[in-house]
């Protein structure tokens, strides 16, 4: 069975979104981009800066509550339904819970052929990108650079601080073709 889902996991400002766009260019078939940032943007204002929803502290630490988790589970189920309906999907996520986050995706994607990709980026490089962007709480990139990978099992890892997005995309695409 061909790869149906590519799950990219990496910290904030690691280059996941840029990698997704590069993948959409190099992969021969159309792939939809699904990002956790877009999911967060879907949340009602009442769940932003809320203990039951989604909060970002001044130091960049992210916390999520029970209502966020419930809606996130529904979102993952919806992503899996798109794949089961025939769409190929690249997921851009940040596994704040490390291995537990991967397990939640595994449950949603049961029975599908998934390529798990770790998107690594040196914490200093990610922090520089974060500062240049200006749209993130300072400290988020550095705190997530390694933490999001703890206990996560990958089929493949790329390092965006050492390779250009196109090269990383070609590496991932080569694995999609082999599966």
Catalytically active residues, by annotation:
37
* Closest to 60 (Cα-Cα) out of 144, 4, 119, 148: 144
Cβ proximity of 9 and 20 under 8 Å: no
The structure tokens listed for 107 are 């449950």
> How are beta strands 114-120 and 89-93 bridged, if at all?
unpaired
* Angle, alpha carbons 124-99-128 (nearest 5°): 15
Q: 170 to each of 16, 53, 158, how far by Cα in Å?
A: 14, 37, 10
Classify residue 178 as left (phi > 0), alpha (psi -120 to 50) or beta. Answer: alpha
């Amino acid at each position: 069975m061909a790869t149906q889902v590519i799950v990219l996991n990496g910290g904030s400002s690691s280059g996941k979104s840029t990698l997704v766009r590069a993948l959409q260019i190099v992969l021969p078939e159309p792939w939809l981009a699904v990002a956790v940032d877009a999911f967060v943007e879907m949340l009602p204002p009442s769940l932003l800066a809320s203990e039951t929803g989604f909060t970002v502290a001044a130091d960049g630490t992210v916390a999520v509550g029970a209502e966020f988790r419930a809606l996130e589970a529904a979102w993952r189920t919806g992503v899996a339904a798109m794949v089961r309906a025939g769409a190929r999907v690249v997921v851009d996520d940040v596994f704040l819970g490390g291995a537990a986050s991967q397990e939640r995706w595994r449950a949603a994607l049961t029975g599908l052929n998934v390529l798990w990709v770790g998107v690594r980026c040196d914490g200093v490089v990610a922090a520089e990108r974060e500062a240049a962007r200006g749209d993130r709480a300072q400290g988020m990139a550095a705190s997530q650079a390694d933490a999001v990978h703890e206990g996560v099992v990958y089929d493949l890892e790329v390092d965006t601080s050492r390779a250009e997005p196109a090269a990383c995309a070609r590496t991932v695409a080569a694995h999609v073709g082999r599966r």
